[in-house]
Amino acid sequence: MKMDETKGLETSANNADGGKEASTLSTRTLLQVVLHKLNLQYEFDDGQNFIVKYQGETFRVIAEDESAYLYIQDLHWYDAPLDDIDNLSLVYKAVNECNMRDMVRLVYTIDRAENELSLHVLYDILWLSQIPNMESYLQASFDKMLRAHLLFFRHMEELRREEFGRSN
């Protein structure tokens, strides 16, 4: 976020601590206030979605004023070639294991032109000004998505040992 865009957020930030004014903040403004309090840099993509850097990862946050939810996406954090059938089999199984054990969702897309599968983490969170300690709540949401990476790699390692008797 550019410095001139922070003007006015200070007042909103003070009001976002549960006061009467906090409940009048729009979803997008409330997100801007919380990101500002966390000192997280962000910009906007072509669709006016927030692009947030957090602990080395880039998140897309879709915040619509008509919605009480944030839709958080961590896109393209793992890629696998489509012609490695053994690895793809493990990826599918690991994704299923992760999705059975957590509230975040791992999904994949296939780019046939690049001959590649990409993994993404999706997480939808309730986003209301009445939620206490919104800064910790948003940080915990980002952290939960990062933990999904670790869980995925742990499952991949376990599956490799089970199926191939090896690890990578």
Q: So what's the pLDDT on residue 164? A: 77
In the chain (168 residues long), the average pLDDT of successive 10-residue segments reads 51 51 83 97 96 97 96 97 96 96 95 97 96 97 97 96 74
Q: So what's the pLDDT on residue 12? A: 52
Q: So what's the pLDDT on residue 3? A: 42
What is the Cα–Cα distance from 151 to 145, expressed in whole angstroms? Answer: 10
Angle in degrees, CA 10, 12, 18, rounded to 5? 125
Task: Quickly count helices (H) and strands (E) in the chain.
Answer: 4, 6
For 66, other C-beta atoms within 10 Å of its C-beta total 6
Q: What would the two tokens of residue 38 be?
A: 């966390």
Secondary-structure class of domain 3-164 per CATH: alpha beta
Hey, where are the domains in the chain?
3-164
- In the chain, the percentage of residues whose pLDDT exceeds 70 is 85
Q: So what's the pLDDT on residue 21? A: 55
